[in-house]
Amino acid sequence: MRKPILAANWKMNMNSAELSAFIGQFIPLVANAEAVDIVIAPPFTLLDRLTQQIAGTAIQAAGQNVNPEENGAFTGEIAPGMLADMGCTYAIVGHSERRALYAESDEFVARKAAALLDHHICPIVCVGETLEQRDAGRALEVVETQIRESLAQVPSDQADQIVVAYEPVWAIGTGRTATPENAQQVHEHIRKRLAAKFGEAGNRIRIQYGGSVKPETVYDLMSQPDIDGALVGGASLDPEAFARIVHFQSQRIQ
């Protein structure tokens, strides 16, 4: 019912030569992956080149961030209309690195999500607890608050145009993946909150898992009922590994 979505977050990695080498290898590997959405979020500097190189394929381009303002004196920032102009159909907002390193609040994330929807760009809204919060037994409560506050400005009639990414902070870039059962428990909780807020549309919202996803772990994660995709950092820099993640159904470890 919900189309799986596998997204690459390249963070501050890759230059133009590396992008071309990646795309040249990746396109043939995913040519028949029609049943899933494939998204790549490169640094802003590579968006134009990426959209040119994926033209005619089913791969979609995403921003890693956005500023909610339309334009103006915001040195170093990128507006939603600029992402649309580059051909982006998705943008990541509220990534834990931005929340932690640049003190981005739920309120700011909410404004970004609303601004993207105004430009017909699908926000990938990231939430997730820290290890300290998990150890204190507060994971569900923290994620619930982030969901409520970060989605506060999403109109109900546009709710199914967003994607939520559950990324436990302690699993990002650490090699520690949440067990499929742990992840499912949080995804199920998020699903219930989305359904309470948006009604039937809440059941159509895709919820990705993110945090050290690898070809070896993706099948079991994707087998959970409320895990509809993956947001992938490190492993998405390798075209062969990310292609295996896109083909998650054939990655079952016997």
Nearer to ligand PEP, 122 or 213 (CB): 213
Nearer to ligand PEP, 159 or 235 (CB): 235
Distance in Å, CB of 202 to ligand PEP, minimum: 23
Q: Which is nearer to ligand PEP, 28 or 173 (CB)?
A: 173
**Smallest gap, in angstroms, from Cβ of residue 173 to ligand PEP?**
4
Binding site for ligand PEP (CB under 6 A): 9, 167, 172-173, 210-213, 231-235
Cα distances (Å, whole numbers) of residue 105 to 64, 81, 94, 99 = 16, 22, 8, 7
Active-site residue, selected from the candidate residues 95, 187, 189, 247 = 95
Smallest distance from ligand PEP to CB 161, Å: 21
Half-sphere exposure of 2 (CA within 13 A, CB side): 26
Smallest distance from the beta carbon of 190 to ligand PEP, in angstroms? Answer: 16
CA pair distance 198, 209, nearest whole angstrom: 21
Least distance to ligand PEP from the beta carbon of 141, Å? 22
Between helix 180-198 and helix 215-222 the angle, nearest 10°, is 50
Cβ atoms 168, 129 nearer than 8 A: yes
User: Which residue minimizes CB distance to ligand PEP?
Assistant: 233
Q: Is 167 a catalytic residue?
A: yes
Tell me which of 97, 167, 189, 247 is the catalytic residue.
167
Structure tokens at 138: 């507060």
Cα atoms in the 13 Å half-sphere on the side-chain side of 50: 28
Q: Is 199 left (phi over 0), alpha (psi -120 to 50) or beta?
A: left
- Whichever of 108 and 209 has its CB closer to ligand PEP, that residue is 209
**Polymer length in residues for the chain:** 254
- Please give the C-alpha separations between residue 28 and each of 32, 74, 237, in angstroms, as whole numbers: 8, 40, 16
Q: Please list the active-site residues.
A: 95, 167
